[in-house]
C-alpha cells in the first residue's frame, strides 16, 4: 500500500491519551485511516503517567485502546513532537483532518508569595515523577520533613496525599517508578494535610476516592467535626441543588469525623475553608517551612454559585513539602490557535476556530485541551464522539482539509526522518512486553522504563528478535 487512494480520508491525532484513542477508534469506524502521534515513545497519556499506580483497575482501560491499535488503518508514531519535529502546516499538507488531543500539561499557580521556594511543587510534576514520565524521572523531592501540605480538593490532590502515606507493602505490587518507590520507602512524612478553599459540600473528590482512604494500611483519616458544620448557603445548596456525589462526600466526611482517627503511624488530615496566602520559608528564598493560611467563609454570588471569601483569621501550618493541586491548563503548541485566558485550543464545539469563531478547515480538538481538565477517563469517549461526528459531517459536506501529499508510506518515512528515534506500535509492544516481563517475578504489573534512551533502545529490540 504505497500510493493511497485520495478517496480514503486520512486523519492524524496528536496525542495518544484516552481522548486521542477514543477519537482514533471513532474515525477508523467512519472509514478514515488514522495516524496517532505522541511526544513520548509510549502511548496512553495520563493512563500511564497520571493515574495513581495503586489504581490498577483504572489502568485496565488500555485494553480497549490496544483493540483500536489492532484495527486496519491504525498507525502509531511515538516520540514525534508537534512544534519540534513537525509543524502544524506539515500535518495539514498530509491529512484531511488534524485532531489535537494534547491534554493539559501545566499546573495552575496560586499566585502567592513564596510559591517558588524549594519544596513547593506542582502536583503535575510530582505525579509524573512517581509514574516514571521520562521528563520527570530526574526530579528529586525532599521527603525528609514530617508534614506535607497538599493544596486543592480534587482527585489529584487525594491521589498525591495517598501516595505520600502508602505503606511500602502497598507500593510494592504497583508499577510506581522504582526511583519513587525507593524515595517513598525512605520518606519521613507522617502527616499530609489536604487544604480545601471551600467547604466539604464543595469538595471536588469523587466518592470512591474519598471512601477508600479508610482502607489505607498505616494512615488514619482526620476530619474535624467543626469543619463540617455547614453555613446556610452550603446547607441550602446541598439540600436543593447538589448532585449525589457532593451529598455522599459530606456523608463520608461526617462518618470520618464521627469515628475519629484510628490509631495509626501516619495520617491524612482533611481541612476545609482554608486558603494559602503565603508559603513561608527560610530567608527570602530558602526552603519551605510552612504555609500561612486564612480561614474562609462561603458567600453566594449573584448567579447563585458559592465562593470562598477570606475572613482575615489566619494560622500557620508548618510543613516541609507543599504540593499545589489546583487544576491544570494547556500549553500553546506551534501556531495552533490558543485561548490564553482559558488555557485551551480555541475551538467551537471541537472545531478549531479563529477569534471570530470561524472554523479552520480540517482542524479539530478533543479531550482536556478542548474542554478543560474535568471528568474521568470515560468522559472523554463522549467528548471525542462529539468532535468526530463533526468530522464525519465535514467530510460529507466536502469541508475537510485538502492535503497535497497523499502517499501513506512517504508519510511514515517523513516521521522516521524528522524523529529518528520515533517508535511504531510494534516498538511499543516490545517495550510493553519487556516491562511486563520485568514486573512478573515481583508480582508487579510492570517495571517501567523511565528514560527515553532505554525506551527507544527497547523498542528497537523488536527488529532484532
Ligand atoms: P479538580 O477536580 O478541578 O480540583 C481542583 C481543586 O483545586 C478544587 O478543589 C478547587 O477548588 C481547587 N482550587 C482551584 N484553585 C484554587 C486556589 N487558587 N486555591 C485553592 N484551591 C484551589 O482538578 P484535579 O484534582 O486536578 O483533577 C482533574 C480531573 O481529573 C478531575 O475531573 C478529576 O476528577 C479527574 N481525576 C480523576 C481521578 C480518578 O477518577 N481516580 C484521579 C485523578 C484525577 P474550587 O472547587 O473551590 O475551585
Q: What pTM did the predictor assign?
A: 0.95
- Best mutation site among 17, 61, 154, 367 for ligand 1, i.e. most ligand atoms within 8 A of its Cβ? 154
Inform me whether the pLDDT recorded for 291 exceeds 80.
Answer: yes
Q: 212: how many CB neighbours lie within 10 A of its CB?
A: 13
User: What is the rounded distance in angstroms from the CA atom of residue 253 to the CA atom of residue 236?
Assistant: 18
Q: Which pLDDT does position 261 carry in this prediction?
A: 81
- Average pLDDT of the residues in 241-251: 96
Task: Scan for cell 502511548, then name that residue.
Answer: 43
- Average pLDDT of the residues in 89-118: 97
The three three-digit cell numbers of residue 202, written as one number:
464543595
For residues 216 and 2, the model is more confident at: 216
Q: Which pLDDT does position 465 carry in this prediction?
A: 40
The DSSP secondary-structure symbol of 169 reads H
Question: What are the residues whose beta carbons fall under 8 Å from the beta carbon of 166, sequence distance 6 or more?
Answer: 54, 184, 216, 217
Task: Yes or no: say if 364 and 61 are a contact pair by the CB < 8 Å rule.
Answer: no
Q: How far is the CA of 157 from the centre of ligand 1 (A)?
A: 7
Residues with CB under 6 A from ligand 1: 110, 151-157, 159, 196-198, 202, 204, 206, 209, 275, 325-328, 373-376
Inform me whether the pLDDT recorded for 139 exceeds 70.
Answer: yes
Q: How confident is the model at residue 260 (pLDDT cuts 50, 70, 90)?
A: confident
- Average pLDDT of the residues in 89-103: 98
User: What is the rounded distance in angstroms from the CA atom of residue 386 to the CA atom of residue 350?
Assistant: 7
User: How do residues 29-59 score in pLDDT, each as one tens digit?
Assistant: 999 999 999 999 999 999 999 999 999 999 9
Q: Which pLDDT does position 3 carry in this prediction?
A: 44
Q: Which domains are present in the chain?
A: 10-105+330-422 (3.40.50.720), 107-326 (3.50.50.60)
Residue with the smallest CA separation from ligand 1 atom 14 is 326
Atom of ligand 1 nearest to the CA of 307: 47
Task: Scan for cell 467528548, then name that residue.
Answer: 383
Angle at which helices 425-439 and 452-464 pack, to 10 degrees? Answer: 100
The three three-digit cell numbers of residue 256, written as one number:
470520618
How far are the Cα atoms of 1, 63, 139, 416 from residue 432, in angstroms, in the given order? 28, 12, 24, 21
User: What is the rounded distance in angstroms from the CA atom of residue 157 to the CA atom of residue 123?
Assistant: 7
Inform me whether the pLDDT recorded for 256 exceeds 60.
Answer: yes
User: How do residues 340-390 score in pLDDT, each as one tens digit?
Assistant: 999 999 999 999 999 888 889 999 999 999 999 999 999 999 999 999 999
Q: How far is the CA of 441 from the centre of ligand 1 (A)?
A: 37
Residue with the smallest CA separation from ligand 1 atom 1 is 154
- Average pLDDT of the residues in 138-144: 96
- Best mutation site among 327, 368, 380 for ligand 1, i.e. most ligand atoms within 8 A of its Cβ? 327
Question: What are the residues whose beta carbons fall under 8 Å from the beta carbon of 435, sequence distance 6 or more?
Answer: 175, 446, 447, 448, 449
User: What is the rounded distance in angstroms from the CA atom of residue 258 to the CA atom of residue 246?
Assistant: 18
Task: Yes or no: say if 88 and 335 are a contact pair by the CB < 8 Å rule.
Answer: yes
Buried b (16+ CB within 10 A) or exposed e, 326-353: bbbbbeebbebbbeeeebbbbbeebbbb
Amino acid at each position: 500500500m504505497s500510493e493511497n487512494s485520495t478517496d480514503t480520508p486520512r486523519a492524524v491525532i496528536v496525542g495518544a491519551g484516552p481522548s486521542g484513542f477514543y477519537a482514533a477508534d471513532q474515525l477508523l469506524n467512519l472509514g478514515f485511516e488514522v495516524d496517532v502521534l505522541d511526544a513520548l515513545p509510549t502511548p496512553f497519556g495520563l493512563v500511564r503517567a497520571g493515574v495513581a499506580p495503586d489504581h490498577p483497575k483504572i489502568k485496565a482501560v488500555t485494553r480497549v485502546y490496544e483493540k483500536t491499535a489492532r484495527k486496519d488503518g491504525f498507525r502509531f508514531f511515538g516520540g514525534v513532537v508537534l512544534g519540534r519535529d513537525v509543524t502544524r502546516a506539515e500535518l495539514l499538507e498530509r491529512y484531511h483532518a488534524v485532531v489535537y488531543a494534547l491534554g493539559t500539561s501545566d499546573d495552575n499557580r496560586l499566585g502567592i508569595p513564596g510559591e517558588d521556594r524549594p519544596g513547593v511543587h506542582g502536583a503535575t510534576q510530582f505525579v509524573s515523577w512517581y509514574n516514571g514520565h521520562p521528563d520527570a524521572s530526574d526530579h528529586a523531592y525532599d521527603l525528609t520533613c514530617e508534614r506535607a501540605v497538599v493544596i486543592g480538593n480534587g482527585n489529584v490532590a487525594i491521589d498525591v496525599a495517598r501516595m505520600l502515606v502508602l505503606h511500602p507493602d502497598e507500593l510494592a505490587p504497583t508499577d510506581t517508578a522504582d526511583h519513587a518507590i525507593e524515595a517513598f520507602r525512605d520518606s519521613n512524612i507522617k502527616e499530609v494535610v489536604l487544604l480545601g478553599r471551600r467547604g466539604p459540600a464543595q469538595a471536588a473528590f469523587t466518592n470512591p476516592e474519598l471512601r477508600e482512604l479508610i482502607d489505607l494500611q498505616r494512615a488514619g483519616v482526620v476530619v474535624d467535626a467543626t469543619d463540617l458544620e455547614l453555613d446556610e448557603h452550603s446547607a441550602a445548596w446541598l439540600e436543593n441543588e447538589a448532585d449525589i456525589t457532593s451529598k455522599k462526600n459530606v456523608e463520608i466526611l461526617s462518618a470520618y469525623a464521627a469515628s475519629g482517627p484510628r490509631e495509626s503511624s501516619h495520617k491524612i488530615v482533611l481541612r476545609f475553608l482554608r486558603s494559602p496566602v503565603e508559603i513561608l520559608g527560610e530567608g527570602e528564598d530558602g526552603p519551605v517551612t510552612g504555609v500561612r493560611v486564612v480561614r474562609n467563609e462561603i458567600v453566594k454570588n449573584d448567579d447563585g454559585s458559592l465562593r470562598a471569601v477570606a475572613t482575615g483569621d489566619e494560622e500557620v501550618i508548618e510543613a516541609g513539602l507543599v504540593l499545589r493541586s489546583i487544576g491544570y491548563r494547556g500549553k500553546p503548541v506551534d501556531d495552533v490557535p490558543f485561548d490564553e485566558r482559558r488555557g485551551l485550543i480555541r475551538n467551537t464545539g471541537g472545531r478549531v476556530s479563529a477569534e471570530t469563531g470561524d472554523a479552520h478547515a480540517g482542524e479539530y480538538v478533543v479531550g482536556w485541551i478542548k474542554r478543560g481538565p474535568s471528568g474521568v477517563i470515560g468522559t472523554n469517549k463522549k467528548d471525542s464522539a462529539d468532535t468526530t461526528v463533526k468530522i464525519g459531517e465535514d467530510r460529507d459536506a466536502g469541508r475537510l482539509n485538502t492535503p497535497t501529499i497523499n502517499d501513506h508510506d512517504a508519510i511514515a518515512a517523513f516521521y522516521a526522518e524528522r524523529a529518528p528515534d520515533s517508535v511504531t506500535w510494534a516498538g511499543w509492544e516490545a517495550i510493553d512486553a519487556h516491562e511486563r516481563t520485568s514486573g512478573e517475578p515481583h508480582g508487579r504489573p510492570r517495571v517501567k522504563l523511565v528514560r527515553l534512551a532505554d525506551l527507544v533502545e527497547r523498542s528497537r529490540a523488536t527488529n532484532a528478535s
